[in-house]
Amino acid sequence: MTLSVNDLSYTYNRGLPTECCALHDVSFELSGGCVLSVLGHTGSGKSTLAQHLNALITAQSGSVAADGIDPAGGADARRSVRRRVGLVFQYPEQQIFADSVAEEISFAPKNWGADEEEIKRNVAWAAQAVSLPPELFPLHPHSLSGGQKRKTAIASVISAKPSYIVLDEPTAGLDCVSAREFEELISGFAGKGIGIVHITHDIELALRVSTSILILEDGRGVFYGTPGECAEFLCSVPVKGLVLPEVLELSKRLRSRGVIDTLEWTPEGLAGRLEEKWQMRTR
């Protein structure tokens, strides 16, 4: 059971003077319980890719398949793809519309025709998964704080029990404490067997949470591999719009000067490596 994308291409305003290629021959494969981060500059085609996964956009060439179902197969196929793949938009304001948090979270299971019991169960499960306390259920979503709004948005997607979730920049605009919480949320979902596509331009975050990483540059997949390979790639090839994080940059410089022999991208990792080296020297 996988979410797979093969040679996907998409061009906006085809045939018009404003024609613009958003995706060009992009491929990847994601299984349940794994986290795929999609890295790229603004306008690299990340959001277009996200909308393909949820069948909001139909492939112009190439294909998308969720558990073997291709959304090109008509309205029914599109609906079953949406059922399997949940999409959380970048800004919760874009998707929140109900009068209360509970109603918002129950929107998706209702649409998929769940019965009353099941809806209740799903809502409780989803709220708990994002640690949204039940006291908030009767409140109006727009009266919540930024972090709580985002949790509501995520809960309202996972309440349909999708096999895969696509998160579009889930930490943009959040303060550090809330951003940290989301990181834990992502690994929590993966632990529950959900496949996650995580769209971001934060290299450090991607390196920390992912099982695999796809880098897009002007709509082309220029890299696809593990975080370790990704760190190597970023250190050797400049990618448009991506700035090498400082810890990785320092790690790269120290490696090239022979101080350490592996790349590290977390502060704890690099500090640990340096400490090891220091102890070896002083011994």
Partner 1 sequence: MANAYKIALGQFIPADTPVHSLDPRAKIIMVMAVIILLFVTHTAAAFTLWFLLLMYVARLSKIPAGVLFSSTKPVLILIIFTSCLHIFSVPGEKLFSVFGISATKEGFILAFLISFRLALIVMYASLLTLTTSPSRISDGLEGLMSPFSRIGLPSHDIAMMITIALRFIPTLFEETSRIIKAQESRGADFESGGPVKRAMAYIPVLVPLFVIIFRRADNLAVAMEARGYRGGSCRTRLNPLRWRKCDSMAVILLGVLSALIIFGERLLVR
Partner 2 sequence: MPRETQFILSGAEFSYPGSSGKVLSGIDLEIRAGEWVALLGSNGSGKTTLLKILSALLVPTQGSSFISGSSQDDAACGRKAPCAMVFQNPEDQIVASTLEEEVAFGPENLGCPAEEIRRRVTHSLEACGLSGMEKQLVSSLSGGQKQRLALAGALAMQPAAILLDEALSMLDPQSRRAFTEIIASEHAKGRTIVQVTHRIEEIRLAERMLLLKDGKIEFDMPREDFFRMRSEDLAAFGLELPPFEKLCEILRIRGLLPESCAADIGAVETYIYDAFGK
Reported residue count of the chain is 283
Tell me which residues touch partner 1 (CB under 8 A): 12-13, 16-18, 20, 22, 42-43, 47-48, 51, 54, 56, 75, 79, 82-83, 86-87, 89, 93-98, 107-108, 111-112, 142, 156-157, 160
Distances (CA, A) of 238 to 40, 72, 137: 12, 36, 47
- Nearest alpha-carbon partner for 50 in 87, 82, 7, 3: 87
Which partner, partner 2, partner 1, none, binds residue 243 by CB below 5 to 8 Å per kind?
partner 2
Q: How many CA atoms lie within 13 A of 270 on its CB side?
A: 17
Sole window of 23-31, 54-62, 95-103, 275-283 interacting with partner 2 (rule: CB under 8 A): 275-283
The two structure tokens encoding residue 40: 């790229």
If one asks whether residue 56 binds partner 2 (CB under 8 A), the answer comes out as no
Asked if residue 47 lies in contact with residue 36, where contact means CB atoms within 8 angstroms, the answer is: no
Which partner, partner 2, partner 1, none, binds residue 108 by CB below 5 to 8 Å per kind?
partner 1
If one asks whether residue 209 binds partner 2 (CB under 8 A), the answer comes out as no
Q: How far is CA 233 from the centre of its chain?
A: 20
Phi, psi of 239 (to 5 degrees): -115, 135
Helical (H) or strand (E) element with 215: strand 212-217
Which partner, partner 2, partner 1, none, binds residue 256 by CB below 5 to 8 Å per kind?
none
Report the side by side order of strands in the sheet with 85-88. 61-66, 2-12, 20-31, 220-225, 212-217, 35-40, 195-200, 164-168, 85-88
Residue 254 and residue 257: Cα distance in Å, rounded?
Answer: 5
If one asks whether residue 277 binds partner 2 (CB under 8 A), the answer comes out as yes
- DSSP character string of 14-29: TTSTT-EEEEEEEEEE
Nearer to partner 1, 23 or 209 (CB): 23
Sole window of 72-80, 151-159, 175-183, 188-196 interacting with partner 2 (rule: CB under 8 A): 175-183
Residue 98 and residue 101: Cα distance in Å, rounded?
Answer: 7
| Interface characters, 111-150, with partner 2 (x: CB under 8 A) | ----------------------------------xxx---
If one asks whether residue 98 binds partner 2 (CB under 8 A), the answer comes out as no
Which of 7, 32, 41, 63 lies at the binding interface for partner 2 (CB under 8 A)?
41
Burial of 15 (0-12, 13-18, 19+ CB in 10 A): exposed
CB of 41 to partner 2, least distance (A): 6
Nearer to partner 1, 127 or 231 (CB): 127
Which of 13, 15, 16, 42 lies at the binding interface for partner 2 (CB under 8 A)?
42
Which partner, partner 2, partner 1, none, binds residue 257 by CB below 5 to 8 Å per kind?
partner 2
Nearer to partner 2, 62 or 269 (CB): 269
Residue numbers at the binding site for partner 2 (CB under 8 A): 41-43, 145-147, 172-173, 175-177, 180, 201-202, 204, 241-243, 245-247, 249-250, 253-254, 257-259, 266-268, 270-271, 274-275, 277-278, 281
